Each structure stands twice: as structure tokens, then as C-alpha cells.
Chains A and B, each alone.
Chain A
Amino acid sequence: MTTAPNPGPRLDEQRPTRIPLPAKLRAPGWYRAALFDLIGFGFCFGLVVLIRSLMHEHPIVDGNAITIVSLIGVPLFFLVGLGVADYWFYWAAGKATRPEDHSAHGARTWRDYFRVNTDHKVIGIQYVCTSFFFFLVGGLIAMLMRVELAQPGMNFVTPEEFNGLFSVHATILIFLFVIPVFAGLANFVLPLMIGAPDMAFPRLNALSFWLLPLAGIMMLMSFLAPGGSFASGWTAYAPLSTTMPLGQLFFTIAVQLAGASSIATALNFLVTIITMRAPGMSFFRMPLLVWANFSTSLLVVIATPFIAASQFFVLLDRALGFHFFDAFVGAGKDGNVIMYQHVFWFYSHPAVYIMMLPGFGIISEVLAVKARKPIFGYRMMAFSLLAIVVLGFTVWAHHMFVSGMAAWIRIPMMITTAIISIPTGIKVFSWLATLWKGVLHVDTPMLWALGFLAMFTLGGISGIMLAMIPFDIHVSQTYFIVAHIHYVLFGGSVFTIFAGFYYWFPKMTGRMFDDRLGKWHFWSTFIFFNLTFAPMHLIGIEGMPRRVAEYAEKFATWNLLISISAWMLGLSTLIFIYNVVVSWRGGPRAAPNPWRALTLEWQVSSPPPIFNFDVVPTVVGGPYEYGVPGAVHGIFKPPEEAKPVPAGVGGQTTREHTDHIQ
């Protein structure tokens, strides 16, 4: 392969040696990043001292202000030091264009995963490993919370620490696990699926990834801040968040980094999907995972700026004394507290779909392949994704039925919320019909997919209940909400993540996982997941508020059961870790296409070659033509040699009568 679409930066680039520094500190990498961190901190320190002395503020050296400025500045210096921006700086400075030697593609040793790398497959694995690290951290925090909640009374942490624990738990798992792990899986799989050699903007892709660990570390470092970690929940409602100790700013700023990462990745996906599909791959020949990430990326690009805005408001209120959310300033009372919630939920409701639509895509891939049947109603599956994108922006205030906003807004929001369940229902019913009369290979990925169908249905049902305003008024801000979001985000998103992780594990690592351990992992997770979260519906309606370190005696029995189940749920993850580590190191070699799938990523070796395809494939049929004699999705021949194959997508000739469901 001689023509890569995008040259990457050369790591061994010769540079003029103007600064007398050792090569290690001049070359991009961790040494230079550490040096730049020091420079960055010095810069922020100096900036604060300079401004404060010019404005006659006392004391001139203010730890609070220096920390806030450093939280913004040091990560940027780190990224430059690590080398994510080298190419852009060279280009901007008018340096000679350096020919691409592909040295930044592929990973030869594990060390390559700790460098700035522009290969979408390396970045995908970086994403997945990083986010699973934060999955374990978030899960451990949940287990600590359940220690406190095992019995009534304060037993283990202080109320402040408890508020910090659940805030960090939610934030880490939303912003550092569910959202990025989907981006990571898609990063690896999506360019392969559409027959592209890489993402459209490989260097932007690398920058997107490296923003993430910074955001995660910043959130965890908030535990070290004076006054403890941020403790106003992941929702960070003002004016509580604007009056919190310094730890709150770690959230406010880390969310900006994670949000920037999301937006850049989503743009990258959009351009990749629109411009880099293989010849013959029309939109309605795209696998549904590609459709799902297309829809998700639209949501991310449109919605994420809103959470950025909400956190900028908080930053300005908290750090500079603005009064966006201060209802008590002066006689005018000009702050608007509820505005925070509108702006916040205008992102954070679509974020629910950002955390679910890629999972829908994964389930479509796994079910079609494992049931050996075409996806039932492919076009409706694609259209329902787009319907969710549009409707997803019309329901945000259903999070605010008891917020004190104008009462009439609740009615249209109830109706749109009910309506958005229809495209979701179409998807569930179509998956069920896909199973029907198939030849089901019930292995680990399939188990997770089937478990998802049942658990997500429960989460969807409680979601429709919550749309009904009078019932929502009773249960909002109680454990019923905690149960609902865990059925949607754990029974929904996390189950799809595991389905996809096991499904593509052979492709990503070139090794097979242990199917028996995978099934144990599924069943232990499935059982303890339900034992943990199902009782929360009950105690929620009974009246136990969420986000409390302390509760009434009458909830003690349920909470003890929940705590024990939650610890077992945490322990079941050990099976997963063991399986992954052992299989990755020494599992049996994976064949290129162990699942007999039609989509393009399975038509190359496992793991794929550095530039994905030696011959650009030509797509000649739909992605799920299982059972159609002689059907193929793509061939490795130029378009002019491609012959049409039978039964493209839509295949009206094979649409059957209702008699196959009785």
C-alpha cells in the first residue's frame, strides 16, 4: 500500500537542534509531555500571579485560582508535549511537507499503545482499554457506596464523601466508559465495515483519544482537592454546584475535555461515513452499526455543545463571580436557576441515546450473524434510528417534571416521550422477528444480546411509566429512577458493550476468547444485575430518595440484599478480566471469519493488516443476506468486475406472509 489518504507524523523526525535538550525531551512522547506539564504549570502560575498583581488582588499567590487555571492549561500543554499537535505545528510554521512513512500506523509492541498513534485500530484498542479501566474504577466506587448503604446509619464514609462517591461513580461511567467505549469499538470496526483504510482524520482521532484519559484522571484527582471531590451529582445542578468546594471545578473542566473528545470523534465518524465508503456501498447497504454511529454522531455534534455551555456557566459563576444562577443577587434577583437544567438536559437527554444507539447497532450485527438470518425490516431499523435522533431533541424536560418549570411544558414533553418509545419498540420487535425461525448460535455474544433484549425491555417499560407525569411526580428523585437508569444503561448499554466486545474480540486481538468463561460471566452478571437493581423499583416507590447516605429503618433489608448483590456483581467482572487477559495472551488463534459473517471487517485477517485492505473491496449486496443462496456483501475486485448478486437489501421477493409468526 503506497498511498495512504492521510500522512501521519514521523516519530523519528530530524529537527534542528536549537534548544540544547536531550533527544528524549525533544521527541514527542512521555518525557516531553512531563516537561511540558512543568512548563504549563509554570505558565499558569505566572499568569495568575501577574493578573492578580496587576489587579491588586490579595494574596497575589492564590492556590484556588492557580488550580483552576492549571486545570485548563496543563492538559493542553500535556497534549502538545505528547505530540498530538506536532504535525499541525510543523505545517502551520511552513516547514517542508514530510512524506508519510506510516511509522505511526500499527502497533508492534504494547508500548506503541502508549504513544500518539494515528491508526484507527490502535486508537480503537486504546479507547476500549482506557474505558474498561474506568469501568472498573467506576464499579469499585459503586461497591464502596454499597458498603455505606448496606446498613442504615453512617458506617463507612461521611455524608460529604458519600455525595462525592456517587457523583464520581456516575460521571466516570457516563463520560469515561459508556460514551467512549462505543466510540472505541466503532473506531476499530467502522472503517473496516465500510471498506475504508482509516478514519477520515487520523490525527484528530488521536487527539480525541488522548483527551479522554486526561478527563478521567482529572475527575479522579478531585478526591485530592481540598474539601473533597465534586459532590453535586453528575447533574451538577446550580446553584449547589456553583457554591461547592474546589473539587467541583475538576468536574466542570473535565467534562469540557470529554465533550471536546466526543465532538471531534463524532465529526470524524460523520465525514468517514459520508465520504469513505467502498464503491457500491450505498447508504442502504451499510451495516446497521454504521447507521447507528451515523445517528449517534449527529446527536453528539448537535447536543454536546449544550453541556459544554452549561458547565461554562458554572465555571464563570464559580470562578469569576458571574450571576447566571444566583437568584439572590441584588434586588433584581436576576439569576435563573432552572435555566441550568434546561441547558443541561438539552444535552443530557440526547446523551441517553448517545449511550444507546451504538448498542442498538451492535445488537443488530450480533443477532443477524448469530441467528443466521437477515435483519427483519432493515430499512425500518435505519429509519427508526433517525426518528430517535429527531425525537431525542424534543423530550429533555421530562427530567424536570418536578423542577418548578412552567407547568404546561410537561404535557408536550410527556407526549413526545411516549412517542419516542415507538421507534424503539419497532427495533425490539424487529430483533425478535429476526430471531424467529433462525438457526441460533447461543454463544457468549449472543447470550449478551438476548439478555439485552429482555433487560432493555424492562428499562423501556419503566421509561414509559416515567413519562406519565403523575407517576413521575411520585417517583422522580427516588430509587425508582436509579433502577430505571441502571436497567437502561447497564442492562441496556453495558450488555450491548459486552456483546460487541466478545463479538469483535477475535478480530481485535487475533485470539479466541474462552466461550465457557464468557457464559459464566454473562450468567453471573445477569443474575446479580437483576438482584441488585430490581428491588430498587420497589424501595423507590416506597419512598426512598436517591443520593442519600442514610435511610429509614424500613428499607434496611432490601438495602442489605442490594449491597450483597452489588458486590457479587462487581466480583463477576473478575471472570471477564481473567478471560480477557488469558485469551489475549494465549488464546487459540482466531480465523479471519470465525462467525461466518458477511460484513467486510470479517473478510480480512484477524487482526486486520495495517492498512485494512490490500485490495479495496466492492460492495455488491446487502450486509445481512444470510440464507440467500450465493449472496455476498463485498468482493475484493474493482467495481467493473463486480456482478450483481441475488436479493439485495429490501429483497421484496422474500418478504413473507404473517404465517411465520403464530
Chain B
Amino acid sequence: MVAFGVVLTAVVLAIVLSLPWFPSLASTQAHRIHTLYNVLLIASAPIFSLVATVVIFSVIKFRMRPGEEEKDGPPIHGNTRLEVIWTAAPAALILGLCIYSYTVLRANEDKKAGETLVNVTERQFAFEFSYPQANGKQVVSPVLYLQDNHPYLFHIRSLDVIHSFFVPNFSEKIDAVPGITTDLRVTPTRLGSYPAECTELCGAGHAFMRAEVEVVTPARYQAWLSSQKLNGTPPIGVPPAFAVQPGVPGDSTPSTPPAGTTYSNSRSSHPQTAAK
């Protein structure tokens, strides 16, 4: 049985560790979280295998045989030593996992030297990215351009209901909450085009609320930035100028929504008017 348990653990581990769980890792944060996930898998596989082994073995070994219809098992009521072990051992394990997770969290979220601020403004059902410039003006873009190997701090706001800002390849997300500004730190490490998704249900167009993220070389980034017009008006506080853009191309972008679908709530998004 012990041998069976060890083999099962090895098989389970081999399967779960070889599965392509994560999308391509494109940030330092994603690499740390991927490592954390592998540690969690390694810690979990023996526990599941233990439970499965005992269940399977009990069914095979202790199954009622013909003639045992009236037989009972031995009246074992408990075993203090065993109970202490299976309380203390998992406690030590999860304590270790908590400490490790905390270090990952600090590494991911601590302030980085030289980080660049990007404002993310979300509304039903679109993203808007704005880059504050030295002269107090903004570069506003529906596509998020980031330089490779450069730390970023995002300030995320919502203009209506709760949204979220999630780039699966960065492994980081945070809600966009009406009334407050939330923070997110990401250091992209891989060139490429990635999807940004809204993951908090925000209404009928929620599934189509996507944006494109481009991680580019610093040279291309500078070229892009200097080609942008400076937009003097900060995006918060005024109705965003750009239209809803479902179906921006990207590796996770859904197909174009059917014609005739409108993505506005049938009531105003302003509760005050909704009540009238």
C-alpha cells in the first residue's frame, strides 16, 4: 500500500507538473507565481494520493466478503498520537506555505525603483490607458504599450460599476472600483502581444471588454510615445472620448459580437437617475 501510494504520488506529480497550466509568462510577477504554484502542486499531490490510496485500498482489502453480512469491524475509537500527527503536520505545512506566499507577495508588490505610472480607466465596456507626461499632459491610448524589463505602477479607476484589470500573462489583477483608485505593479519581461481582460462581471458587454497589451523594446516604446498626440485633458471626470471597442485583436480576443447587440444597460448607469 505504501508502494502504491508512492507510485500514485509520483504519477500525479508527473501529470500535474507537466501540464501547460499557465499562459506564456511575461512578467517577473508571473514567474514567481508560477514557481509558487509548482510548490503548491508538489505539496498537494501527496495529500490527495494519501486519501485516494486509503480509499481504494480500504475498498479492495476491507470489502465485505460473502458470509460477513453480520460481521462488524474492530471497535477502534481513536488514537491520540495519530490525531496529534494529522493535526500538527498539516499545520506546519500550511504555515510554511503561508510564509512563502507572503514573501512572493512582498516581492511582487513592493515599490520598484524607477517605476513608471500608467493610469487605467475602465467603463462599460472599455479600457483607456493614459501616460502622464513631464509637462503635466497625458498620452491617452486604447492599447496598453509597455517597455520590456521596466517596472510599472498602474493606477486603476472605474467610471461606472466595478471592473477588473487582468493580463493573464502578467499573473496580476485588481478590481477597478468606483470612487477609489487601486494599484497594481507589473514588470513585463517578455516581448509580445497579450490580452487585457475585465474579469469582474460588469454588465451585458462584460465578455467583450478586452484590450490589447503590447510589450515592446524601449526603442519602439519611445517611438510610439513620441508619435502620440498629447491630450491635455485628464481622462477622469469627463466622459471618455473614445467609443466602445469590442473585438480588439489579440491572442485572447473574442470574435466580433453579433450585429444588433448593444452593450448598454437598459437603465442608466447612474443610480440616482435609476431611482426616478
Decide: A478 near B199, CB < 8 A? Known: A159-B206, A432-B51, A661-B82: yes
Chain A 306-328, CB-CB to B under 8 Å as 1, else 0, gives 00000000000111110101111
Residue of A233, A329, A425, A647 touching B272 (CB-CB under 8 A)? A329
**CB closest chain-A residue, reference B255:** A153
* A485 located at the interface, meaning its Cβ lies under 8 Å from any Cβ of chain B in the complex: no
Q: Is A551 a contact of B254 with CB atoms below 8 Å?
A: yes
* B233 located at the interface, meaning its Cβ lies under 8 Å from any Cβ of chain A in the complex: no
Q: In chain A, residues 395-433, which have Cβ atoms closer than 8 Å to a Cβ of chain B?
A: 402-404, 407, 410-411, 414-415, 418-419, 421-422, 425-426, 428-430, 432-433
**CB closest chain-B residue, reference A426:** B87
Question: Please, which residues of chain A bring their CB within 8 A of the CB of B255?
Answer: 152-153, 550, 553
Decide: A473 near B207, CB < 8 A? Known: A227-B266, A243-B271: no
Q: Is B74 a contact of A411 with CB atoms below 8 Å?
A: no
Give the shortest distance, in Å, between A225 (CB) and chain B (any CB): 11
In angstroms, Cα B86 to Cα A426, docked, is: 7
Question: Please, which residues of chain B bring their CB within 8 A of the CB of A244?
Answer: 265, 267
Q: Is A438 a contact of B22 with CB atoms below 8 Å?
A: no
Q: Is B207 a contact of A159 with CB atoms below 8 Å?
A: yes
Q: Is A473 a contact of B171 with CB atoms below 8 Å?
A: yes
Residue of A426, A473, A477 touching B172 (CB-CB under 8 A)? A473
Q: In chain B, residues 69-95, which have Cβ atoms closer than 8 Å to a Cβ of chain A?
A: 70-83, 86-87, 90-91, 94-95
Give the shortest distance, in Å, between B266 (CB) and chain A (any CB): 5
Give the shortest distance, in Å, between B152 (CB) and chain A (any CB): 16
Decide: A237 near B162, CB < 8 A? Known: A374-B76, A554-B251: yes
Q: Which residues of B contact A (CB under 8 A)?
A: 1-2, 19-23, 29-30, 32-33, 36-37, 40, 44, 47-48, 51-52, 54-55, 58-59, 62-64, 68, 70-83, 86-87, 90-91, 94-95, 97-98, 101-102, 104-105, 108-109, 160-162, 164, 166, 168-169, 171-180, 182, 195, 197-208, 251-255, 257-258, 261, 263, 265-272, 274-276
26 A-B pairs (CB sep. < 8 Å): A152-B255, A154-B261, A163-B204, A239-B161, A239-B162, A239-B178, A243-B161, A243-B268, A319-B275, A320-B275, A373-B75, A377-B79, A379-B78, A414-B101, A425-B87, A442-B63, A453-B55, A454-B48, A454-B55, A457-B52, A465-B44, A474-B30, A474-B171, A476-B199, A625-B75, A647-B75
**How many pairs of A and B residues are in contact by the CB < 8 Å rule?**
347
* A651 located at the interface, meaning its Cβ lies under 8 Å from any Cβ of chain B in the complex: yes
Q: Which residues of A contact B (CB under 8 A)?
A: 152-154, 158-160, 162-163, 227, 231-233, 237, 239-240, 242-245, 317-321, 323, 325-329, 333, 335-338, 371-374, 376-380, 402-404, 407, 410-411, 414-415, 418-419, 421-422, 425-426, 428-430, 432-433, 435-442, 450, 453-454, 457-458, 461, 464-465, 467-471, 473-474, 476-478, 538, 541-543, 545-554, 596, 625-628, 631, 647, 649-652, 654-658, 660-662
From B70, B74, B269, name the one whose CB has the most chain A CB atoms within 10 angstroms. Answer: B74
Residue of A154, A317, A336, A596 touching B258 (CB-CB under 8 A)? A154
In angstroms, Cα B276 to Cα A403, docked, is: 30
Question: Please, which residues of chain B bring their CB within 8 A of the CB of A327?
Answer: 177-180
Residue of A337, A438, A552 touching B58 (CB-CB under 8 A)? A438
Give the shortest distance, in Å, between B91 (CB) and chain A (any CB): 5
**CB closest chain-A residue, reference B99:** A415
Give the shortest distance, in Å, between A7 (CB) and chain B (any CB): 43
Q: Is A422 a contact of B62 with CB atoms below 8 Å?
A: no
Residue of A239, A335, A422 touching B87 (CB-CB under 8 A)? A422
In angstroms, Cα B265 to Cα A328, docked, is: 17
Decide: A239 near B73, CB < 8 A? Known: A337-B177, A415-B98: no
In angstroms, Cα B76 to Cα A439, docked, is: 13
